[in-house]
Amino acid sequence: MKFTAAREALLKPLQAVIGVVERRQTMPILANVLLVAKDDLVSVTATDLEVELVASTGAEIGGAGEITVSGRKLLDICRALPEQAEVAIQLSGEKLSIRSGRSKFTLTTLPAADFPTVEDINAGQTLALPQATLGTLLDKTHFSMAQQDVRYYLNGLLVETDGKYLRAVATDGHRLALCQVQLDGKKMPQQQVIMPRKGVLELQRLMSGEGDVELQLGSNHIRIELDGIRFTSKLIDGRFPEYERVIPEDTSNRLTADRQLFKGALQRTAILSNEKYRGIRLIIRDSAVVLQAHNPEQEEAEEELEVSYKGEDIEIGFNVNYLLDALGAIESEEISLALVDGNSSCLLQMPGNEDCKYVVMPMRL
């Protein structure tokens, strides 16, 4: 294997895939990236056995071939070279030499045949959609994923298509975020997959917001092609909760408030909430909501906010972080908060918009 490429051309794919290369590996080959040189292209593949990333760049190929080499060391070498430098890479026996100007580096390698790759995911269906649309679905829901929950199916994001909509749903058992976009074109079969947390966060990192993406849903993998990068993630094998059942239907008690004013009041009151439980009390009546917080040091905070409210007087407690996360995902000037009573979940959304919904369970204070 032998090829020559510009430093910047090599840096781009290496930086794109390095996120899945773990520093501490049980298998030494997982600290490596797979380099494949053929047909005027060099592809770089990295995997942690859960997420796989493949990125390519143009190069002058002197000899086709493939090999694995330390991903971090190769990236650090390319970063340290001068801008616009020409980089020549050649495999000699079991060593990979990297030359640029008067610099020469020799790295040890491991055979390409030992590198685990996912070739075909047996996609059940393929969707094409704008990258910005997929990015919005992830941004508006990912924060509700659980972290290291024993209910492993909560440590990820549900991606669902029912033919009319593409939907993303995340819940940690205390709150739920749902966002959906309408699909144009032919009717698709219904399918549900659960993407693991690491895959979701890695995919968000790759999003540039421009161009289209191709989304392939398989029985064990999800694959997304964007900006010359191929992202493949294993799926979580499990049944996601029936999320429709936790979305309140009786929303006769409805509060409408200026989003920024409500967010600011929550942030100020939260300063004196219990640092561990982050509880805050909302006393909602006629045209105002009173926000209260206190902590074990006997300190208290209270703020009153003018709102538009129709319904019964309600006193209810919430984890303030959950409310703030939901408010951060809603982009409208006003927010709508619907309640059943003081012991039931509340529903936050943009007034008149049914595509994004946020459910927060109450907490005892």
DSSP string for residues in 284-303: EETTEEEEEEE-TTS-EEEE
| Angle, in degrees to the nearest 10, between helices 320-329 and 259-270 | 150
pLDDT of residue 186: 61
pLDDT of residue 23: 79
Q: Quick check: 365 pLDDT over 90?
A: no
Following CA atoms 65, 67, 72, 75 in sequence, which dihedral angle do they give, to the nearest 10 degrees?
A: -10
Identify the residue whose tokens are 């109450």. 362
For 222-262, the pLDDT digits (tens) are: 999 998 899 999 999 999 999 999 999 877 899 999 999 99
d(CA 37, CA 57): 10
d(CA 312, CA 292): 19
Count other C-beta atoms under 10 Å from residue 263's C-beta.
Answer: 18
Looking at 162-249, which runs of residues are DSSP E strands? 165-171, 175-182, 191-196, 212-217, 221-226, 229-234
Mean pLDDT of 329-344: 95
Number of residues assigned to the chain = 365
Q: Do domains 125-244 and 247-360 have the same CATH topology?
A: yes
d(CA 291, CA 280): 7
For 81-137, the pLDDT digits (tens) are: 999 999 999 999 999 999 999 999 999 999 999 999 998 888 888 889 999 999 999
User: Cα 339 from chain centroid?
Assistant: 29
CA torsion sign for 317, 321, 325, 328 is positive
Q: Quick check: 36 pLDDT over 70?
A: yes
Report which listed range, 24-28, 211-215, 303-307, is most confident. Answer: 303-307
Mean pLDDT of 322-337: 97
d(CA 302, CA 266): 10
With vertex at residue 81, the alpha carbon angle to CA 76 and CA 86, rounded to the nearest 5 degrees, is: 120
The domains of the chain are located at 2-114, 125-244, 247-360
- Report the share of the chain in percent with pLDDT over 70: 99
295-300 long-range contacts, CB within 8 A, separation 24+? 299/272, 300/272
Q: Are 68 and 35 in contact (CB under 8 A)?
A: yes
Which of 276, 247, 225 has the alpha carbon at shortest distance from 180? 247
| Mean pLDDT taken over the chain | 94
pLDDT of residue 252: 86
| Top-tier CATH class for 247-360 | alpha beta
pLDDT of residue 3: 97
- Which numeric CATH code is attached to 125-244? 3.10.150.10
pLDDT of residue 73: 97
Pair type for strands 175-182 and 356-360: antiparallel
Mean pLDDT of 328-348: 95
Q: Are 337 and 257 in contact (CB under 8 A)?
A: yes
What CATH superfamily is the domain 2-114? DNA Polymerase III, subunit A, domain 2 (3.10.150.10)
For 158-206, the pLDDT digits (tens) are: 999 987 899 999 999 999 999 999 988 666 788 999 999 999 999 999 9
Confidence of residue 34 (pLDDT cuts 50, 70, 90): very high
